[in-house]
Structure 1
Amino acid sequence: MNKHLVVSDRQAANWNDAFPVGNGSLGAMIYGGDRTEHLQINEETVWSGGPMDRVNPDAQQYLPIIRQLLQQGNISEAHKLASQSLCSTSPDMRHYEPLGDVHISFTTPTKPHTTQRTLDIDEAVVSVTRADSSVTMHSECFATYPDHVIAYRITAQQPISFTTTVSRMDLHNPLAWRCDGMRIVDNATIGLYGTNGGSNGISYELLVRVVADNGVVDRIGATVRTTNTTAATIYITGRTTYRTADPFDWCRQTLNKAAAHDYDALRERHIRDYHELYDRSAIHFDDSIKDASLEQLTTKQRLDRLRQESTNTNPDVALWETYLAFGRYLLISSSRPGCLPANLQGIWNKDYEPAWGSKYTININTEMNYWFAERAGLGELQLPLIDLIHTMLPSGRAVARHMYGARGFVAHHNTDVWGDCAMQDAFLPSCAWPLGGAWLCLHIIEHYRYTHDLVFLRQELPVLTECITFFIDTMIRDKDGYWAVSPSISPEHEYVMRDGTRGALCTGATIDNQILRALFIGYLELAADAVCDDSSDLMNDVRERLHGLRPTSISSDGRIMEWSEEYADSEPGHRHFSPLFALFPGTEIRHDTTPDLINAAARFVRKRMSNGSGNTGWSKAWVIALYARLWDKHNVWLNMTKLLTDSTLDNLLDNHPPFQIDGNFGAVAAMYETLIQDYGDTIYVLPSLPDPLHSGTLTGMRLICGAVLDMTWRNGHVVALDITSTRVGRVTVVFPDQTQITITLDTDRVSHIIPTHVTTTHVTTTAKEQQ
């Protein structure tokens, strides 16, 4: 099989062209410059300051009035009062910042130029080759999780010299150094340090050490000089007081341990650790449907080719496969156990005032980062997201109590490193949405469904209970008698009433009802497995709220309704598909159980897309997944192609714009949906496979029923399907022709499903081979 590479034949023109490495905590963007290498460094916990209390003290007093105004249809007054009494007194949460920059300047007398930059996705190593008439230099860089450093290795055929410096400059204001000072540790080690946000802020350290195999390493001022060497390694690490009381000592000891190892051993340990995750699942397309000649082109050239073609007669299938592998690489590189979850940019951010704070936007973007984690066998990479919920609990409880007069915990559409749960910004169409914590809690339910980990269940069920308790306390009966959230919104979208009044606040948005339905059903399921008292007041309240939710409804024009009333869209091509949460990532809308809602969902997507929706990277990824669930393989492929041509940077990072990582992750999840749609008791095989991807293999996909699936397909037909069970259960497999077969699962058994012709399937079951 072909290697998965991102390739460039020149130095990075800017940050959006650099290549990322990461170990969950540390990240770097590598420019591969001709004469000066630039590594822009991030550390996951470098945020702009400490925790804050931002709750509006008047919220609880005016909340009943706002609800009443909404029930009366007095939208303008409700908005006015909500803006004054609900929006936080300090609009902005803390935001994510860079740690610093490392500069390696080559002082050889000649002028080498970059001949190739390569990100080897299969090994998680970036390499750069520089050459001129007299010398060829090869560099490689990786971020190692076991050893907590970024290693940059330089080798040359002839002795070379270079200097190493560090900085923390704002690219938008190069005269502003954003650190408190430089640190000189010894003749080979330098760094910088500082504190963000005052006395309760976050203090950080960046340390860099140069170790040469030969030649001389010395220092002048805050510059480390390396002279006449043919091989040297630069080790980089960083830490903050968010994790460690003394980050300088931690960094110094970390560098000591890393530098004590042989470089090749360090590299081997990194690759072995990476492969333990990366090799668990993969999607490959047959070489027979790939154009081998395209492998000679750079990634930019391949993307340009797609952008310039008016037809899709010769698709670059191998590039799409590389894009999918890149998504797994990014998740492994930005979300490891014990670390923070991936934020809007994973861990890679160059700006001190980044777009949307590079925070956790939890009205879809953060959740989208983890849509494919469980099915790709990377469930433990989702644990940082669940850890974040625990970080949010103290703030969420305080917000529930002081804003809403309620028990439990609540979060709105953003949170930060401290788990801030108050409203972010002062823009009601975004901030007045109290379902952020509920959506996050669905990931607790998902992880349990895949693992049936009873220790995890006992630990997390109280979190779900607190989330649900908030809604039991705060939901009201709407004018039709349904239980509803008020006030709320349909995220980031406004409606237009018959008199032309625009509004955002509402009672019982469709997405709210769908999220809560999934939350309540999941809670009852997990509570049963935990043997909770089924007759308790809490369980009775959950069932009452569940059965009292407004069902997902269809409007007079045949579309899923976004609000409880038939308002007009303020943006017919809005980027959010909020009322289709129940189609994907939810499972309420299905071909086999709700055909009318499937048709209404298809109409909704058609209307949005015909008016320009899906024009941002993450929105495009979401619509691909929606088309996959609609079994519309034509539009799946059309939008896969547009994702590459319109929303992908030349280094394959997603372009919102600006860069957001959710599009990369969402697209991988969407690809899995084209191959397998998993409803727990039933899986659909190849339900929306695009024709250009007609032959390939899927390995290591986890199923909710407790099994691992491997599949081979040729010319759009399954030729082999193996389901290896990890626990006892049953699952029904439905093939594209609607032929189905039910398999009984037993621990460590493999069911070999061999389609013998179109309408019959042969199944053999064997004991799993001993490892």
Structure 2
Amino acid sequence: MNISMTGEIRILSVTASAAPDNNTLTLKGSSPQSVDPILWTGQARFVPDEGAVVSVSGKNLIITNASTVDMFFDAETSYRYASEAAWEAEMQRKIDVAFALGYDAVKSAAIVDITALLGRVTLDLGTSPNGWAALPTDQRLAIARNTSEDVQLSTLVFNFGRHLLAASSRPSNDGTVALPANLQGIWNNSTSAPFGGKYTININIEMNYWPAGPTNMIETELPLFDLISVATPRGQSAAERMYGCPGTVFHHNLDLWGDPAPTDNFTQSTMWPFGSAWLAWHAIDHYRFTLDKTFLQEVAYPFLSEVTSFYECYAFENEGHNVTGPSLSPENRFMVPLNERVPGVSESVDIAPAMDGQLMTEIFQGFLEAASMLGIPDSDPAVAAARTFLPTIKPQQIGSLGQILEWRVEYTELVTGQKHLSPLWALMPGRAFSPLINSTLFDAAEVLLDRRVSHGSGSTGWSRTWLIAQYARAFRGADAWTQLGQWFAVFPPPFSLYNTNTGSTDVFQIDGNFGFVSGITEMLLQSHAGVVHLLPALPADDVPTGSVTGLLARGNFEVDIVWDDGALLSANVKSVSGGSLALRVGDGTKDMFVDGVAYTVPLATTMGMTYVVTTA
């Protein structure tokens, strides 16, 4: 066996060494940047079985008389460590620990570790017909191009997506910054990653974390807040230097070093100072799932305070309301009206796009909610300012078709079927357009959603899976399942379950995989509207029988659901934190019973107790 190591990377050196219990190949390399590149060292240690002979030939290891060879590999970089000696010491430590344990122990520990996360949720959507579940993946995908009846394949993609999140986004256990999953998770194989390997924060990184709370993997979201902590000081500088404002601001991209500035290309995304608002929503929503007061006090509240103080400065009065600008509606464009200076030209930058108002409303509400939970009084200057500002935000507008108006006036869209569902943020992932909260805005959101879809929205895999969740939030389970089928029809490549932009192998985008998980979850359980809603959008004709265990609802309730013949059979709701439990089943028309007693009003629950929900 002749072993060498190379790659499409800037290799500075390769060294082979043969010694008792220390047969290694060591690579040193650099990222391709000419200025401030990331330097790294990677080492593989090979352990052949007894009787093997190991020797060195130049930069190669030669292993003979071996029937098995174990390999232990680690790489460390200058991103986390100040010196080559420091990162190589850490690399050596990790390899030594793994070597001392041995392959079997390392494998067993990895299985225990991943099962602790993945085993929290089990999903059963029924049995696929015609023995399809026994076929190889490529054959099943070929069938799924034309039908969504392989329900076990949907279950597999759900499980696969949760595995991807557990594998690509884990909090550190040594106090160092943990990096969140980017658009390739950890599976990029290029020296020039798609989109520069950055974190696009006008939908993509947020979609990555939609499954974290609902599928009971909430700690996988913690690396996102590590990135926020890195970016916040630079966002403070950008807020002051660009806008003369306090607080912090991120635009539509962040990188490893938290650079929050607008990018210098693609106008319809760059001038959008609301990435920080969307991430602030993740912070307060993380608390809603966990009820972790320490997280709220140390992470969510300080960040919300920084972000809201920026918008109190950045917003300005227009026609009696506070609006934003310059800004845009990611990533759509409109046609300049005939009465303007450059009629007929497509533009993206304006003032008061609908999404800005939706985000501002949510984060100001979230800030005040956090202050209340922490016992911070209304007399606090920041709380008082937020409470004064919130009602001044421009309300959402409805256009001539009955649709949510995307911009401040009814411009003609350049792309009616735009893949970004930006003006529908408040339907999913937000809450203001929920039919349980505001039926008027929901009706308008539904008009815009159907209009988007009828004109071709969902043209990328991630956009298509966003549509699954949007229709689930609209309580339209059949339409959500149709969108799921259309994802299978186009976007997984012929040989794997990865999400792509076109269905070929050109660009793998992991957000579509996470969006798929989120879409299925939203069909089975929702909690954003202040109620634990069981089977809100069950596609009863397509998945008439099934079960799910271990989902997490806001308020820290763990939920198991069993359904049959398209309706709830029973549900177990465990109160992890002991709070008020509001319930709804399906369309809300059936009488409910909790532990055999008719349910009429929200219940005061006991921490650790499980409550059985049935219907008449």
TM-score normalised according to structure 1 size: 0.73
- CA offsets 1:55-99 (integer angstroms, 9 cap, x no match): xxxxxxxxxxxxxxxxxxxxxxxxxxxxxxxxxxxxxxxxxxxxx
Distance 1:414 1:727 in 2: 36
Distance 1:563 1:737 in 2: 32
Q: 1:181 aligns with which of 7, 13, 18?
A: 13
Query: Residue 406 of structure 2 corresponds to which residue in structure 1?
Result: 562
Query: Residue 133 of structure 2 corresponds to which residue in structure 1?
Result: 295
Deviation of 1:737 after TM superposition, in Å, equals 4.4
Aligned pairs for 1:307-346 (under 5 A) are 307=145, 309=146, 312=147, 315-338=149-172, 339-346=178-185
Deviation of 1:617 after TM superposition, in Å, equals 0.7
Change (3 A) 1:753 1:574: same
Q: 2:492 aligns with which of 639, 642, 648?
A: 648
Query: Residue 724 of structure 1 corresponds to which residue in structure 2?
Result: 574
Query: Residue 536 of structure 2 corresponds to which residue in structure 1?
Result: 687
Query: Residue 212 of structure 1 corresponds to which residue in structure 2?
Result: 48
SS of the aligned residue for 1:753 comes to strand
Aligned pairs for 1:376-525 (under 5 A) are 376-460=215-299, 461-478=301-318, 480-499=319-338, 500-525=344-369
Structure 2, gaps ≥5 residues long: 173-177, 339-343, 593-598
SS of the aligned residue for 2:4 comes to strand
Deviation of 1:200 after TM superposition, in Å, equals 4.0
SS of the aligned residue for 2:124 comes to strand
Deviation of 1:298 after TM superposition, in Å, equals 0.9
Deviation of 1:708 after TM superposition, in Å, equals 0.8
The amino acid across from 1:208 in the alignment is: A
Distance 1:423 1:681 in 2: 36
Q: 1:265 aligns with which of 86, 101, 105?
A: 105
The amino acid across from 1:744 in the alignment is: A
Asked if structure 2 preserves the Cα contact closer than 8 Å seen for 1:618 and 1:662, the reply is: yes
Query: Residue 279 of structure 1 corresponds to which residue in structure 2?
Result: 119
- CA offsets 1:178-219 (integer angstroms, 9 cap, x no match): 222223344521121123346744211111121111322222
Change (3 A) 1:737 1:560: closer
Q: Across the two proteins, how many residue pairs are aligned to each other?
A: 581
1:673 aligned onto 2:499? no
Query: Residue 63 of structure 1 corresponds to which residue in structure 2?
Result: none
Deviation of 1:753 after TM superposition, in Å, equals 1.5
Distance 1:603 1:368 in 2: 23
Distance 1:719 1:374 in 2: 24
The amino acid across from 1:717 in the alignment is: A
Query: Residue 545 of structure 1 corresponds to which residue in structure 2?
Result: 389
Indicate the RMSD between aligned Cα atoms, in angstroms: 1.6
SS of the aligned residue for 1:702 comes to strand
- CA offsets 1:443-473 (integer angstroms, 9 cap, x no match): 1101111122121122122221111111111
Distance 2:396 2:532 in 1: 24
Query: Residue 349 of structure 1 corresponds to which residue in structure 2?
Result: 188
Asked if structure 1 preserves the Cα contact closer than 8 Å seen for 2:532 and 2:582, the reply is: yes
SS of the aligned residue for 1:229 comes to coil
Deviation of 1:593 after TM superposition, in Å, equals 2.9
Deviation of 1:644 after TM superposition, in Å, equals 1.6
Distance 2:410 2:387 in 1: 28
The amino acid across from 2:48 in the alignment is: A
Deviation of 1:318 after TM superposition, in Å, equals 0.7
Asked if structure 2 preserves the Cα contact closer than 8 Å seen for 1:681 and 1:731, the reply is: no
Q: 1:751 aligns with which of 588, 591, 611?
A: 611
- CA offsets 1:570-603 (integer angstroms, 9 cap, x no match): 1011100101000000011121232222222121
Distance 1:633 1:451 in 2: 28
Identical aligned residues as a percent: 33
Distance 2:134 2:214 in 1: 33
Distance 2:89 2:18 in 1: 14
Q: 1:362 aligns with which of 201, 223, 232?
A: 201
Asked if structure 2 preserves the Cα contact closer than 8 Å seen for 1:705 and 1:729, the reply is: yes
- CA offsets 1:143-180 (integer angstroms, 9 cap, x no match): xxxxxxxxxxxxxxxxxxx22211122xxxxxxx5222
The amino acid across from 1:659 in the alignment is: F
Query: Residue 558 of structure 2 corresponds to which residue in structure 1?
Result: 708
- CA offsets 1:520-573 (integer angstroms, 9 cap, x no match): 000000011112231233222212221011111210111111011111111011
Query: Residue 608 of structure 1 corresponds to which residue in structure 2?
Result: 452
Asked if structure 2 preserves the Cα contact closer than 8 Å seen for 1:487 and 1:505, the reply is: yes
The amino acid across from 2:241 in the alignment is: H
Change (3 A) 1:185 1:239: farther
Query: Residue 513 of structure 2 corresponds to which residue in structure 1?
Result: 664
- CA offsets 1:308-331 (integer angstroms, 9 cap, x no match): x3xx4x710111100000011000
SS of the aligned residue for 2:481 comes to helix
- CA offsets 1:273-302 (integer angstroms, 9 cap, x no match): 11111111122223xx32361133110111
Distance 1:281 1:178 in 2: 42
The amino acid across from 1:180 in the alignment is: L
The amino acid across from 1:400 in the alignment is: A
Q: 1:734 aligns with which of 550, 566, 584?
A: 584
The amino acid across from 2:38 in the alignment is: I
The amino acid across from 1:376 in the alignment is: T
Structure 1, gaps ≥5 residues long: 1-161, 170-176, 758-771
Asked if structure 2 preserves the Cα contact closer than 8 Å seen for 1:192 and 1:206, the reply is: yes
Asked if structure 2 preserves the Cα contact closer than 8 Å seen for 1:679 and 1:704, the reply is: yes
Deviation of 1:731 after TM superposition, in Å, equals 2.2
The amino acid across from 1:179 in the alignment is: I
SS of the aligned residue for 2:574 comes to strand
The amino acid across from 2:418 in the alignment is: H
Change (3 A) 1:386 1:694: same
Query: Residue 66 of structure 2 corresponds to which residue in structure 1?
Result: 229
Change (3 A) 1:185 1:442: farther
Asked if structure 2 preserves the Cα contact closer than 8 Å seen for 1:681 and 1:730, the reply is: no
Change (3 A) 1:443 1:167: same
TM-score normalised according to structure 2 size: 0.91
Query: Residue 760 of structure 1 corresponds to which residue in structure 2?
Result: none
SS of the aligned residue for 1:385 comes to helix
Higher strand share: 1
The amino acid across from 1:328 in the alignment is: R
